[in-house]
Amino acid sequence: MDFNFLMPTKVISGRDCILKNAQIFSSLGKKAIIVTGKHSAKKSGALNQVVEALSSVSISYKIYDQVEPNPSVDCVCKGGELAKSFGADFVIGIGGGSPMDAAKAIALLARNPWNENLFNQTYKNHPLPICAVPTTAGTGSEVTQYSIITDEQNQTKRSIATADIFPRYSFLDGTFMVGLSNTTTINTVIDAFSHAAEGYLSKRANFMSDRFAEQSISILGKYLFDLNNKKMTVEERDELLYASMLAGIVIAQTGTTIVHGMGYSLTYFKHIDHGRANGLLFHSFLKFTQREQSGKIEKILSLLKLSSLDQFKTQMQQLLSPIEKFNDEELISFSHKAIKTGNVNNTTPIPNREDILKIFRESLQ
Ligand code: NAP
Ligand code: FE
């Protein structure tokens, strides 16, 4: 029973958990920078709760609400500058994965000199402490050490990965997801499923991460293929948020596989949402891994209450219909990008470029 397991984030879940735990912020300092997207943090009520909690313990704050989906280097540098000039003691990221990831990068940049190479440098100084408030159930960023930022220079998305950017505290409350559109709900739940299943099949999967992955897949499986036009209760939102967090804990141990590495091009060049990009590729990826991981794939199917990979394909296609189609030239160029990602070596079996191209072709032609 060999395993390594690190999960340093204190996760607090429940209705109004931010207001009820406002004193936690006092332990982090006197000034906070709040990092959000343009609209949803306000509309979801999450920003109000954070502001109310901070005010109740006399913490001053500045709001940086300029984070776009798939945040850019420029966006996080501006946030880092603001955090520095304000003299922030800690960072609170509110939103989907984009603002939470931006908050992590901003926390690093607030304490370290700006360097052209955001992704491969060693950050000498510890980042500001980070708090996360997810308003989607998908990325699990509230419990991971990853910050995924768009790298315009290399025309892809890349991660800053360091244990220093695990959030100190995460606050989970499904209330904030009540206004989430059906499309974003679907895309984010697919992302969570993708984390749990990729982590389960990753080369770095271990005994303990597998237990989290199995529980996550079995909860997500209750909803995944039934999401089209579904009206969800807040309790169902809570459950999805829990499962998504479990999946985040999984990838914090295992990393993601080639599905994520391939999906980055679909997002960068074709503006396909992150979770949807994973979903489009998933059936063919499972088929590819089956030759070495048939037992685990059987287990995934049984947790989803499906009888075959063909049934998985039909269900996923129904969920994502209509499916995008791309020409061969584009897919060849995406395969060249994907083979260079670190995700390749997490995949079992390790794919070569032809394998990757085959997955692209089967999924998108
Ligand atoms: P997102 O890019 O954060 O948000 C997508 C859209 O949903 C935005 O328009 C956002 O609006 C809106 N939205 C968010 N919460 C909402 C709510 N409660 N109600 C209504 N609208 C809401 O989407 P995401 O899928 O959560 O995150 C994707 C990003 O996370 C990608 O960059 C991906 O690479 C990254 N990711 C990170 C990790 C990790 O471990 N760090 C793992 C997987 C993926 P606003 O813009 O107004 O907020
Ligand atoms: Fe993801």
Tens digits of residue pLDDT in 268-279:
999 999 999 999
Q: State the pLDDT at residue 258.
A: 98
Pair type for strands 156-161 and 146-151: antiparallel
Phi-psi region of 94 (alpha: psi -120 to 50; beta: other; left: phi over 0): beta
Q: State the pLDDT at residue 225.
A: 97
pLDDT score of 116 more than 80: no
For 7, other C-beta atoms within 10 Å of its C-beta total 16
Kindly give the distance from the C-alpha atom of residue 137 to the centroid of ligand 1, in angstroms, as a whole number.
9
Q: Any residues with Cβ below 6 Å from ligand 1, and which?
A: 37-41, 44, 69-70, 95-99, 101, 135-136, 138-141, 144, 146-148, 157, 176-177, 179-180, 184, 188, 191, 274-275
What is d(CA 263, CA 278) in angstroms, rounded to the nearest whole number?
6
Exposure letters 127-163 (e unless 16+ CB within 10 A, then b): bbbbbbbbbbbbbbbbbbbbbbbbbeeeebbbbbbbe
Per residue, the 3-state secondary structure of 296-314, as one string, reads HHHHHHHHCCCCCHHHHHH
Extract the tokens encoding 356: 């990757």
Q: State the pLDDT at residue 113.
A: 86
Please report where in the chains the tokens 């999984």 appear, as a residue.
250
Q: How confident is the model at residue 36 (pLDDT cuts 50, 70, 90)?
A: very high
Q: How confident is the model at residue 121 (pLDDT cuts 50, 70, 90)?
A: confident
Extract the tokens encoding 257: 């596989």
* Residue at 253: amino acid letter: Q
Element (H, E) at 363: helix 353-364
Q: State the pLDDT at residue 249.
A: 98
Kindly give the distance from the C-alpha atom of residue 144 to the centroid of ligand 1, in angstroms, as a whole number.
15
pLDDT digits (tens, 9 = 90+) for 287-314: 999 999 999 999 999 999 999 999 999 9
pLDDT score of 317 more than 90: yes
Q: State the pLDDT at residue 15.
A: 98
Among the bound ligands, name the one nearest to the CA of residue 101: 1
pLDDT digits (tens, 9 = 90+) for 175-193: 999 999 999 999 999 999 9
Q: State the pLDDT at residue 289.
A: 98
Q: How confident is the model at residue 321 (pLDDT cuts 50, 70, 90)?
A: very high
Extract the tokens encoding 305: 């209450």
Among the bound ligands, name the one nearest to the CA of residue 255: 1
Please report where in the chains the tokens 């992590």 appear, as a residue.
104
Assign 166 to helix, strand or coil.
coil
Q: State the pLDDT at residue 291.
A: 93
**Percent of the chain with pLDDT strictly greater than 90:** 95
Name 199's Cβ contacts closer than 8 Å, sequence gap at least 6.
Answer: 205, 209, 213, 247, 250, 251, 253, 254, 255, 256
